[in-house]
Structure 1
């Protein structure tokens, strides 16, 4: 089987990841080059990096700074801090106990964030209370720790746990689509605190991992931290189906094929997607855009061949669609302009 359609992120996420390190005076160009990212590439919404490049950048930056907090905090989270938090979580008998131990250890390791754990009987939630305005002002800090808490809890549970909702304490950005890739659940912006919500009953389940599983998890933790994994909504199920079919057959199913595979009518599928603020065409186009960017950056495939691979009748129609998707021509992306 060929590789699935790659996930890409707008380059503005590169800027967010490196902003604290840059402000502290660290040289970050070497981290970019080592991750296969051109330091001259604009870090905006029109340019993209693959998730492999983004993971490599995160790994190189953590190693280069010796800081798993990526220069966000006034006190470094030196390498090994995450392992310490994970070992602490594994002492919990239940998922709630694991979450309590994980957040407690995080609180001990730095001075700028107080993760407050609350349970109202229906939902367990962790509110991120930032103690310094400098850290609170960085959107990346909110996103990083919300995603970290979710993926750690999902791993401890066995892989299927998903949050009941995510609140983010900053205004909705233009790159909201990329945030929905990271948080495939109900996502609310502009709230008082950045908060992750879980069903209280779900967190009464036992921890299903132990220390014998930890080394394997740590080896892939950065990838797990970034790559969407749980098809929670109808739009997520559509994305998963399209990715899997492309991987199996190198093709892109249409609406009728997709609705049949999901056991509903085309009109019903469109209606469910509309309720989530999505459409089949936009989902398929976003996946084809990601695949096109990946192929342009990693292969010398001629444009007509790539157009055929993406299901376009000819090169001209592909180039028009690509310009509409990204604001650039395929040639500009291939050259890294």
Structure 2
């Protein structure tokens, strides 16, 4: 998978299916927080992504890589910071990776921790394929096979390696520096920031994106290692990855749900939805039927989820919630809610 230096800054063809893969909100929350320090509002950072600011309060919700890349691009433009990828990765600790981060933290060794991250790519949410190799007493953590937006290649490479080294430091419990940081792209203007991020300068126009460090560190016992916790957490990682993979398998269903959730009023209309999806109403109905569902079922599902959130997490009136969900009258919303749950909306506020 190693490539020549002549192709060092060339991404592989964009993979549309990869862009629809599910991902958690952790990196988006970090991005919003970092830009908030510059006085940039969350709504500005999220503009055009289909992610409303209030969704950041729902950490269990999933988005996709396309939405995440849209936010990264907007954040880079708003911040006017070419080193933003480095800074974001540096801010991404094990705690940002949910159950995967915890599993890595309680792994017996750094080797097992890194192999665990590689084993669960959906949970890691990297834009690269990672692999771990040992070459002449040096460990190489290599990030390769990028198939996303070419204009964000160097941004994502810097975020990937800086975040992986932050995680490695968390796992080892020490702030050691790698022996070398290799990047395939040419030296950027902000190369002087690398020592502050990695404790080591970068080497550019190399054949691989990689972190190099002593191989003996791989088998050093981790300070928070716990065998029972590790095996229990590993099982949870497996279940979560299977659930996320299953949702990705129905990409059309996931996209329809995301659109409806982003604007329940607009996308309650089938013609608006099909226009955005660039397909006819007949085609959409046929494809959804083949997946065992329908437009109305997905509309109900999205509205139901949004209704529960708005009733439990906001003080909006019933009539305002009905309006936000695209119901012409409060009575229609009450009837629908009773059909979904067997309860009245007001029952959730008692």
Q: TM-score, normalising length from structure 1?
A: 0.40
- Higher share in helix: 2
Bigger Cα Rg? 2
